[in-house]
Amino acid sequence: MINYIWSFLILIGLVIGSINGNIVSMSDSILASSKEAIELCILMFGVVGLWSGIMNVAVSLGIITKLQSLLSPFLSFLFPNLKSTKAREYISTNITANILGLGWASTPSGLKAMEELQKENPFPDTASNEMCSFLILNISSLQLIPISIIAYRSQYGSVHPANIILPGIIATCCSTLTAIIYIKWKDRHT
pTM score, two decimals?
0.69
Tens-place pLDDT, residues 68-117: 788 888 888 988 888 888 888 889 888 888 887 777 677 888 899 999 99
For residue 134, what pLDDT band results from cuts at 50, 70 and 90? very high
Nearest CA to 134 out of 173, 170, 91, 169 is that of 91
The percentage of residues in the chain with a pLDDT greater than 70, rounded to a whole number, is 98
pLDDT on residue 52? 73
Q: Check: CB of residue 100 under 8 Å from CB of residue 144.
A: yes
Contacts of 79 (CB under 8 A, 6+ apart): 88, 91, 130, 133, 134
Q: Is pLDDT of 118 > 80?
A: yes
The percentage of residues in the chain with a pLDDT greater than 90, rounded to a whole number, is 14
As a whole number of angstroms, the distance between CA 103 and CA 141 comes to 8
Tens-place pLDDT, residues 137-177: 888 877 877 777 887 788 788 889 888 889 888 998 999 99
Distances (CA, A) of 125 to 119, 122, 128, 139: 12, 9, 9, 22
As a whole number of angstroms, the distance between CA 41 and CA 89 comes to 31
Distances (CA, A) of 53 to 40, 46, 58, 88, 117: 20, 11, 9, 23, 28
